[in-house]
Amino acid sequence: MTITSLRFPDGFLWGASTAAHQIEGNNLNSDWWRKEHDPAAKISEPSLDACDSYHRWEQDMDLLSELGFTDYRFSVEWARIEPVPGIFSRAEIAHYRRMVEGASARNLRPMVTLHHFTVPQWFADMGGWTSAGAAELFARYVENCAPIIADGVRHVCTINEPNMIAVMAGAAKAGNQGFPPAGLPTPDEETTRAVIAAHHAAVKAVRGINPAIQVGWTIANQVYQALPGAEADTAAYRHPREDVFIEAAQGDDFIGIQSYTRTKIGSEGPVPAPEDAERTLTQWEYYPAAVGDALRHTANIIGRDMPLIVTENGIATADDSRRIDYYTGALKAVTAALADGINVVGYLAWSALDNYEWGSYTPTFGLIAVDPLTFERTPKPSAVWLGSLGRTRELPRTA
């Protein structure tokens, strides 16, 4: 296939993503905070102050806007907004509303995620997603986010990586806590059903707030590739881990694609990448083409009309030149998908900042470095390069 155009269409979203717990710091009422301080959870380091973005979000947005990005995806924190059941903090709602307005004031279109892995401790204590009334409680929280999202927010993501939530629940039932490697443990079916119900309730709540909002959810795409002869095994392996969540997006306004690497599947299950394969700081195989496969697979499952947004894509590396190389390969794959008529409407890199990678600060996904002591932000060359494409909307052909 020849790539005829490396241009991104008009109106294409061009941004970077973050999540509250990973950057804000001191998310004291969340289940993750408690887990980070529970020795039994064996989490290597706690989030503590993170990037202090709770206080420094204006600086983060200034930088993204100056770099050339036009979109910023961030999440609002349920544990702050509803610290005890049914009590909603006006101050926290006002805080997130200021962020929405602050983004718009900097010509950054805000994309708001309502749930990004963390829940209030009280919600975890009552049994989490699979407890009675969980979907209704989530919808009530979403309704109470109306002052944040009712005006000036075009895209809302309900639940981030529901398939990873189901996988983590499956792993926890098997005695393993934390964020699993490349999505492989068996997902917990009850959790799958529960998060799908919560998503559907949240979509309804968002549409009740403002029907013009484009609402969807964001799926972790592991890019399962069948070894010869293992096509049927791969389809069977993938369905509960990915396709069931893509299918549940039917009727949404968009679907978020989140891809980083690939997973090869043989008749016995996942097959690790060869010993000599290049690996990133998360130990995932370096495979920039993943996002193209993820886009094509998602379009095949959900249908060609559904708008697809790459809501996360990136690499954990200490070598920023590898990050530029990764994004170059990834964006070639995105432009190739566009040329093939895949309905891609945006691309948001993961992540704006070096942040708390669910248990450790070592895997640095950021376009912008953050000094852990002073919180000083320093854009990396990759940030300057990727941001500049927001102005030209064109991937240089020499790339």
Q: Which is nearer to ligand NOJ, 6 or 114 (CB)?
A: 114
Check residue 19 for interaction with ligand NOJ (CB under 6 A).
Answer: yes
Check residue 160 for interaction with ligand NOJ (CB under 6 A).
Answer: yes
Helix residue ranges, H only, 118-238: 121-125, 134-144, 146-149, 162-173, 189-209, 231-238
- Write the interaction track for ligand NOJ spanning residues 114-153; mark x where CB under 6 A is met and - where it is not: ----------------------------------------
Helix residue ranges, H only, the chain: 20-23, 31-36, 53-67, 78-81, 90-105, 121-125, 134-144, 146-149, 162-173, 189-209, 231-238, 244-247, 290-302, 320-339, 381-392
CA separation for the pair 75, 53 (Å, rounded): 12
Residue whose pair of structure tokens reads 């096509």 in the numeric block:
231
Q: Which is nearer to ligand NOJ, 183 or 329 (CB)?
A: 183
CB 117, min distance to ligand NOJ, A: 6
- Residue from 24, 31, 77, 161 that binds ligand NOJ (CB under 6 A)? 161
Q: Return the number of other C-beta atoms located less than 10 Å from residue 149's C-beta.
A: 24
Contact positions with ligand NOJ (CB under 6 A) in 263-322: 312
# residues contacting ligand NOJ (CB under 6 A): 9
CB 241, min distance to ligand NOJ, A: 14
Q: Which is nearer to ligand NOJ, 47 or 121 (CB)?
A: 47
CB 312, min distance to ligand NOJ, A: 5
The three-class DSSP label of residue 76 is coil
Do 226 and 234 meet the contact criterion of CB atoms below 8 Å apart? yes
Q: Which is nearer to ligand NOJ, 160 or 263 (CB)?
A: 160
Q: Which is nearer to ligand NOJ, 96 or 284 (CB)?
A: 284
Residue whose pair of structure tokens reads 């983004």 in the numeric block:
103
Burial of 128 (0-12, 13-18, 19+ CB in 10 A): middle
The three-class DSSP label of residue 225 is strand
- Write the interaction track for ligand NOJ spanning residues 333-352; mark x where CB under 6 A is met and - where it is not: -----------------x--
Token pair listed for 105:
């004031």
Q: Which is nearer to ligand NOJ, 365 or 385 (CB)?
A: 365
Q: Which is nearer to ligand NOJ, 72 or 144 (CB)?
A: 72
Q: Which is nearer to ligand NOJ, 160 or 234 (CB)?
A: 160
The three-class DSSP label of residue 360 is coil
Q: Which is nearer to ligand NOJ, 159 or 265 (CB)?
A: 159
CB 346, min distance to ligand NOJ, A: 16
* Beta-sheet strand order (sheet of 224-226): 224-226, 263-266, 269-271
CA separation for the pair 235, 310 (Å, rounded): 23
- Residue from 75, 121, 192, 258 that binds ligand NOJ (CB under 6 A)? 258
Check residue 242 for interaction with ligand NOJ (CB under 6 A).
Answer: no
Contact positions with ligand NOJ (CB under 6 A) in 39-98: none
CB 141, min distance to ligand NOJ, A: 19
CB 348, min distance to ligand NOJ, A: 11
CB 357, min distance to ligand NOJ, A: 5
Residue closest to 206 by CA, chosen among 158, 250, 256: 158
CB 386, min distance to ligand NOJ, A: 17
Q: Which is nearer to ligand NOJ, 117 or 385 (CB)?
A: 117
**Side chain identity at 60, as an amino acid letter?**
D
Distance of CA 17 to the CA centre of its chain: 7
Q: Return the number of other C-beta atoms located less than 10 Å from residue 186's C-beta.
A: 14
Do 156 and 214 meet the contact criterion of CB atoms below 8 Å apart? yes
Residue whose pair of structure tokens reads 């806590």 in the numeric block:
177
CB 83, min distance to ligand NOJ, A: 22
CB 275, min distance to ligand NOJ, A: 23
CA separation for the pair 103, 64 (Å, rounded): 10
Binding site for ligand NOJ (CB under 6 A): 19, 22, 160-161, 258, 312, 350, 357, 365
